[in-house]
Chain A
Amino acid sequence: MNRLHPATMVVAFLPKLFEAFRQVLPFLAVSLFTGRGDNSELFFAAIGILGGFGAITAYWTTQYGILDGHLVCTSGWLFKRDRRIPLDHIQNVNLKQGILERAFNVVTVEIETAASSGAELKLQVVTEDAANELRGQLAVPVASVESLTERDQRTYRISKQDLILGAMTENQGSQVLFALIGTVGVAALSQFFFRFFQFKELVPSWVIWSASILGILLVWGFGWVYGAIQYAVKYGRFTVAREPGLIRISHGILTKLQFAVRLRRVEIAIVSSTVWQRIVRRCTVRVGTAGTFGEEGATVPLALMIPADSADSAVQSVLPTFDESMLDWKPLPRYYMLSQATRVLLTSSLFAGISLGLYYTGFGRLLQGLGWLIPTLFGSYLFWLVAGVVFGYRKMAYAVSNEFIASRGGLFTKTVYYMPLAKVETIGTTEPPWWRRRQVTRLIATGMVQSIVLPMIPESAVAKIANLMLERNSKIAGTFIDADAGQASP
């Protein structure tokens, strides 16, 4: 049995200390500044620090190791815990190294199984060598599997150009946020100045207008740059190393993350591209297994900013039975557009009713001439909803082949989901009465963790999918749990 690294006491304790003081920091500052505080805030901070002592006991009590095919971890002082995980039930092994951890040359290891969300077993701080040794031992059952990638064993590292291109084209998350804050904020600000400072007499109105527009553009630009920096810091040094039966994905400039994905455990592949990515003909491929990837979420990027036409081969490298040409893409029934449009109109008329009601019951007076914001916001919201339904519908499709179930959609960010039928455990359908008359239904295919949704398909297609799923499952009957422990060779 092994112990954790003594650095646990520092690495796990410092963040707790920081957290405890951060909360009382404003109060402390005020009492220091005014000289009238009794420093009672320090007392509360001290209570917060107590939590940090858990980290110290964790070091003294945690032991881990591998005992006859199980990863064993015992921990706890008052409440003891002994957790054993069969090695072949392990889905992912994630490594994380923050800035603090790098100073001590230590890492956090997370071991995930399919049993529940979140890390099954977290070894807070072990040395890099110990982590490598542990990883080597965990890989034993994997190595005995006939290698899927032996012929192209190699390491791929993202180039600087690709990273910068990715940062510029794939960061719309914070862009949208900033855009919203920026547009509404600048508009409100300009109105505010317009009303309360008699600008009109001092500066001509075109100056105010162009300043407002410039302000909006600046905030959008700042959001974009911010998102790009975030992206570059998160995905910098993105590396994929292929080993027999296994891929190691690592990325991160400040906080380094590494994920070991067992190829036989891959349940889903997702190919996505933003509008900007499509202009430069690139896309991103993510994979998901029957486990999660800590902070990364349910899926992990397998390929960033690869040329769009090599997406299929990237998916094929983790799901060998994948063949895009076998997929027969079908559009969703036209009725889907009608039902979505009805839903959108119903919900937006509800919103309209509420906002009009608020406006006329005196809430409008608070807005002080910003009343134009309500119809503007509402109108643009409605416009995007309707556009989303009408144009989004054309982008949606589903496909079923003998091996795969697939679904795609997305107006701005195009996303395609591929799931092997052999990984599907449950097929579920749901439909309200008005769908029943049109003989359509919503289908969800669920694997151990991942799932794929076909928003509307004809009822006649369900039996075919269910039968295919049962047929695929029968090919690996009885061996699925040990499928990559080496015994599965039907």
Chain B
Amino acid sequence: LNQSVSSGSVERPNPKVLLVWKLTNAIAFGIALSIAVLVALGFLLFAQRLPAVVWIVIVVLASLWGLSFLVSQKQWENWSFQVTPEALEMKQGWIWKHRRVVARDRIQHVDINSGPFDRKFGLVQVVVYTAGTTVGMIPGLDPLRAEALRDQLMAGRSVE
């Protein structure tokens, strides 16, 4: 996918999206960990012992949380997209790499979504659809860039 396909510049999600991902992870893991810790405390208080399972769960959860920092970082590093005159090309994935090339004429509609954390950091995500399927999602875009991208994609193939 190197010769004529790529002529637009390669773009990346805003680095601020890393904060959004870390925050989301923190909430998910935080809730799970606090439940585990509460269970552990309950055991210590009422049974005066701590079963190995609870320990293992806490350690696994904490290490997964730690790992999620690395995963988000790598995910961000590997997420890119590129708008060329004929196609939208998206790349994603750290270990399993995914690439997608979509003919711009075939794009049916483009959604701009933003969750509460996205809004907090002034970001939006763009979801691209063709007639048949969801083609892909581009996270962490500046709202202005997202709107420009939507107009660009909805206009179909750029005439040159």
Contact = CB atoms under 8 A, between A and B. Distances in A.
Contact of A448 (B87, B100, B101, B131): B131
Interface in A285-320: 290
A480 interface: yes
Interface string A412-432: 000000000000111111111
B131 A290 contact: yes
Nearest to A114: B131
B105 A477 contact: yes
Nearest to B130: A425
B97 A436 contact: yes
Nearest to B3: A463
B98 interface: yes
A480 B103 CA distance: 12
A473 B132 contact: no
Contacts of A447: 132
A488 to B, nearest CB: 13
Nearest to A115: B131
A466 B132 contact: no
Contacts of B4: 467
Contacts, number: 85
B157 A474 contact: yes
A478 interface: yes
B118 interface: no
Contact of A425 (B1, B5, B97, B106): B106
A147 to B, nearest CB: 25
Given A427-B101, A436-B97, A470 B87 contact: yes
Interface string A460-490: 0011001101100110011011000000000
A425 B1 CA distance: 16
Nearest to A449: B132
B131 A470 contact: no
Interface in B3-44: 3-5
Contacts of B99: 428-430, 462
Nearest to B91: A429
Contacts of A431: 96-97
B95 interface: yes
A433 interface: yes
Contacts of B95: 432-433
A425 B156 contact: no
A474 B132 contact: no
Given A428-B98, A429-B100, 13 more contacts: A425-B106, A425-B131, A425-B135, A429-B97, A431-B96, A447-B132, A462-B99, A463-B5, A466-B5, A467-B5, A470-B86, A478-B157, A480-B106
Interface of A: 114-115, 290, 424-433, 436, 446-449, 462-463, 466-467, 469-470, 473-474, 477-478, 480-481
14 contacts: A424-B103, A426-B135, A427-B101, A429-B98, A430-B93, A430-B96, A431-B96, A448-B132, A449-B132, A466-B5, A470-B86, A470-B101, A474-B86, A477-B156
